[in-house]
Every structure is written in structure tokens, then in C-alpha cells.
Amino acid sequence: MSEDFTSHEYDVIVIGAGGAGLRAAIESARSGAKTAIITKSLLGKAHTVMAEGGCAAALQNADPRDGWKVHFHDTMKGSKWLANWRMAEFHAKEAPDRVRELEQWGAVFDRTTKNLINQRNFGGHTFPRLAHVGDATGLELIRTLQERGIHEGIDMFTEYTVRHLLKEGDRVTGCVAYTRVDGDFHAFSAKSVILATGGITRCWSVCSGSWEYTGDGHALALWAGAELRDMEFVQFHPTGMVWPPSVRGILVTEGVRGEGGRLFNSDENGKPHERFMFNYVPEMFQGDHAETIEESDQWVEEVVSGKIATVRRPPELLTRDVVSKAINSEVKAGRGSPHGGAFLDISHRGEEAILAKLPSMHHQFKELAGVDISKEPMEVGPTAHYVMGGVIVDAETQETTISGLYACGEVASGLHGANRLGGNSLSDLIVFGKRAGEHAAKQAADFAQPSIDDSQVQAAIKEMIAPLERGEGENPGLIYDAMRDMMQEKVGIIRVKDELESALEDLKEFSQREKNCFPGTSRKYNSGWHQALDLKNMVDISIVATLAALTREESRGGHTRDDFPGHEDEYWGKTLNICWMEKGEIKIRQEPVEKMRDDLQDAIKEVKAMIAERAAEQGGGN
């Protein structure tokens, strides 16, 4: 028996309404394409709002020595030399214009005394580079893009979940979705489809991701035949809340450390003790960071007062992968805070400065943990925050390995390699969201409107309603929680072969449990049904991430193998893990990283020489 569905026709469909999706839709509509956004949630609820600290762009407002070459170098170095260098080049060159564009559209950034966009320090960035709005930058970005999008004639489909991509031959021609409120089905014909669905971090039990982060776009691309890369690289942000349990994993912005926050381990009485990050500076970063507390504090004093630093930055501003592993090591050594994290203290900056620069953090801890961060330290610990891997895209157009399908933002791969620098996510969204929208609209102009294949739509609907028709089975919520706990335990910050192999066996079992779960029979307001469908994405994408982690026998960036500690030398072990699905089975192969263009290699050498000279002047150097 056929199910009823409603048909829609557009030139370009954008799946996702975060920063990348909104920017892509705006550019598509401005290019003349009839454009629609389909979002799983409501407008303004995307995970982009959790990007609190800032948007990285070499505006040169804080330090005239900054520029696209320095930003390019920092991104490549932070990625442990696995980033797609062409994407890193586009990003570094175009981010300043995209940030200024946001300002022209109404974004209200913090200002310097000269009324320029203010920029703050983040880990891995040579100079202060993050344009920010206090500690609510992502929220302001979303507000600005939504207001701009309203005037571009974009149609919005909110609380719709896309479950299938339509194809004609090897080309994507639309999608099938259901409404989360009443369970109605919809089929969309599109000449181009853009994935902007965000990440996969809900696959881990301790995460900063919003409920939408169940790997929808990654799975849609995988099922449609596209290839994914770098899926072993999951960023565990070093500072998530650890107490109380109800808020464990909620993000504590890197802006706290950018404004001078200090990390401490704990003494035997559970009180802040030693600033331990001085003990965890990797060889590749030695000479770039302060070696004493006095030097570190001087840097903070100079920078927060608007001066150009004359000494080296604190080790708290090392890259996120380094800081996360350091906190993890301190906890394992028995020096963690009372609730299994580390202490992060910004109280020395005083209440006035904290309320001016970190108002959201002050409110968050006061309301959720009963902690006044202007008077006492926070407890923080690593939280699954971002996946560096994703769908393989062309650097210039953002088209995937499947014709007619584009991807941008966190669902796409390439820019971040093995580790993402803080602040590069927001600039990623606006740089490559624009590119995806522009090229998707351009290609759409060359194609006739595709027809909607009823047989594909009915097959997709049959798969969606299958859990409702089982009559009995396990509660999908129990499977959901158990799988996330397993991933946290066996595919977390520190990985070993035996646990990864065990995780793959567990995921086979979860796949069978997912196929037999029963959420009840109703299609209306049935959160269990939504969860049952999400489980299929989560299991398949968890298999991809785990298989890639097992295959990469080295430690690099966001992927640490205890059995292969390795050495993060920049020219060692540079291969990429490419994953795809073939007849329902996940396949993997390795490819070498493409050799960087000579002029970009020269740019990196130039920046390295400048950094070494600056470090020598500040008292270090290597």
C-alpha cells in the first residue's frame, strides 16, 4: 500500500539551518536560484550558537603582523599537516571579507578603542585573531544570517528530518523527509542539494553537541555513495562542564583561557594546586609558549590591556588536542578535581572584566552549577565537541564525490585535518557556506527540474515507518544511551586496538538492536520514533569513525592511540583514511596527502622564520 506524500520543487535545497546552511542558502538565493532550507529543529536552535569564543579571521586589527599567510600556517600546523591545503588557503584569504560582510549585515562585534572589530587570542593562533561578541559570537552570527535570509526569499521547512537522498543514476536530485510534529511525508525535487547538517558528537555520552548532532548529513552522504575522510579525528574540547551530572559536557568557551584563564590540577584536599600545562608542551610547540608563571601572567596583562605582547603566550593556549590530553593525564594520575576534571580559574581578572567579556559563562555557571566564576574556579574536563572528518568535497566548489550533492560546515571534511583550531569553525561556515551556495546555484542553472521517483520515495517511507509496525521490541532510548556510553568508553580520547575491535563488535550488536526496537505506533509527537531513526545514522557513522581509528596506527591531533604513541613530526605518517559504503558494508582505504604547492610551502617557511624570530625576541625560540 502506497503512503501519501507532499511534493515540492526547488532549484537548490539546503539541509540544515546553522551558520553554514544559512550562508549557503543566502548565496544561492542571491544567485537567482529558488532556494529552500530544511531543518530538523527550529530556526535559531542550531549548534552554531554553541560556538561562543569567536570567528577566526586575519583582520590585523589586534596585530598588524597577522595576515592570511600566518593564518594559513597556523591552520596547517594545528591540523598536524593533514588539512586540505587548498581549502586552508581559501579560508585564510577569504575569512576577513566574510567577517566584514557580517558586520555590514548588522553583526555587532566587540570593538577596540579605535572602534575596530576586537580580536581575542585562542589556542594555536599566532596572533589575536578571533572577532567576537563577548562569549556569544555564534548566537550573533545566527541572528545576523537569519535576518539577512528573511529578505532573500528563502522558503523554510522547520522541524523536518531528511532521511533519504533521491538520485537519478549517479546524480542526487532531491530528498525525502518527514515532519517531526505529525509524521507527514514530503519529497523534494532539487537540481542541487547542499548538506549543512553539522556533526556527530551525540554518538558520545559526554558531549557539547545539541540533540540534532546525530550524524544525519554524514549518513545521508554515505548511503548515497559519497566518500568520507578523517572520521577518526574527533575533537574533545578540553573544557566542558563536569558538575553537576545533569550538565556534564556543556561547553566552557576557550574564550575563558583567551582572556587569561589558568588551569590547575588538585592537591590531596581537592583544592587548586599546580598550573600543570607547563609540563605538557609538545616538542613542535616548544619555544612558542611561556616557560614560567611570571612570563605567562605578563602576557595576559599586556594582551588584555590592548598592547602587543612582548613575551610568549601561556601554555593554556596550546591547541585543543594537547590541552585535552593533558587534563586527561592529570585525572588518570590522581590529580584531578573532585568531580574528575581540572580547575579553570579566571577570578583574578575581577568581576567587572568577567561580566564584560564572559557574561554568558558567568551566567551559565551561576545558574547551572552554583559557581560564581568571578570568585572561585570552575571544574572542567574534555567533552566531545567537533568531528574534523566528514564528506569529501572539492575545495573550490564544495561539491562531493556525487554529482549534485554539496557539503559545507562541520559535515564537510578537509579544512581541519587532524585537529581544528578554535574559531576556525565559524569562519569555515561563512567562507565555505558562501562557496557551496554559489556553486550549487550555478550548477542548478544548467539542469532541468528532476522528476520525483515514486518508487524511491515509497521505499524511503517504508523504511521510516518500519519501527512503528514491529508491535514489540526494545525501547530505542535504552539502545541510544548504551551505544553512547560504549563509544565514550572505547572510542574516546585515548584508544587502543583491543577496545576499538571490541567497539566494532558492539556496534554490530547495536545495529541488530536498532533493527528490532519498537517506539510505539504513533507518528505524532513521538520522540521515540525520532530516536529509533537517528540510531541508524549513529550506528553507521560510529562504525566509520571506529574503523578509521583502528586503521590509523599512530597518534595525531584528535586521534590518540596508547599502543601507537608515535611522534607528531610534520612529515611523518601523512595519509588519509577514506571511507565509503558498498552493498551495505563500510569500506576503507588509505591515500597519501597531496603535495602542497611550492608557493604555499614558501609561505609556511616565511611564517616559521617570523615566528622563530619573534620567539627569540620574547625569550624563547627553537
pLDDT at 46 over 60: yes
pLDDT at 569 over 70: no
Q: What is the mean pLDDT of residues 472-487?
A: 97
User: pLDDT tens for residues 261-312?
Assistant: 999 999 999 899 999 999 999 887 888 888 999 999 998 898 888 888 888 8
Reduced to 3 states, what is the DSSP secondary structure of residue 219? helix
616 is written with which cell numbers?
627569540
556 is written with which cell numbers?
595525531
Domain with CATH 3.90.700.10 in the chain: 237-384
Split at pLDDT 50, 70, 90, the class of 621 is very low
Domain with CATH 1.20.58.100 in the chain: 466-580
Note the residue count of the chain.
622
Out of 2.60.120.620, 1.10.8.60, 1.20.1050.10, 1.20.58.100, the CATH code matching 466-580 is 1.20.58.100
Classify domain 6-233+388-455 at the CATH superfamily level.
FAD/NAD(P)-binding domain (3.50.50.60)
User: pLDDT tens for residues 64-87?
Assistant: 999 999 999 999 999 999 999 999
Reduced to 3 states, what is the DSSP secondary structure of residue 387? strand
User: pLDDT tens for residues 135-159?
Assistant: 889 999 999 999 999 889 999 999 9
- Give the number of other CB atoms < 10 A from CB of residue 1: 4
pLDDT at 572 over 50: no
How does the average pLDDT of the chain come out, rounded?
93
Give the contacts of 620 (CB within 8 A, at least 6 positions apart): 286, 287, 288, 289, 291, 312
98, 120, 163, 257: the active-site residue: 257
- Give, for 501, the enclosing helix (H) or strand (E): helix 497-515
Specify the pLDDT at position 567.
Answer: 63
CATH code, 237-384: 3.90.700.10
Terminal C-alpha separation, the chain: 72
Question: Model pTM?
Answer: 0.93
Question: Does 257 participate in catalysis according to the annotation?
Answer: yes
User: pLDDT tens for residues 350-409?
Assistant: 999 999 989 989 999 999 999 999 999 999 999 999 999 999 999 999 999 999 999 999
Specify the pLDDT at position 107.
Answer: 95
pLDDT at 254 over 90: no
73, 98, 186, 237: the active-site residue: 237
How many whole angstroms separate alpha carbon 598 and alpha carbon 158?
Answer: 46
Give the contacts of 518 (CB within 8 A, at least 6 positions apart): 467, 470, 471, 472, 473, 474, 475, 476
Q: What is the mean pLDDT of residues 597-621?
A: 86
Question: Does 237 participate in catalysis according to the annotation?
Answer: yes
Specify the pLDDT at position 622.
Answer: 44
Closest CA to 588 of 331, 232, 282: 232
Give the contacts of 231 (CB within 8 A, at least 6 positions apart): 218, 387, 389, 390, 541, 544, 545, 548, 577, 579
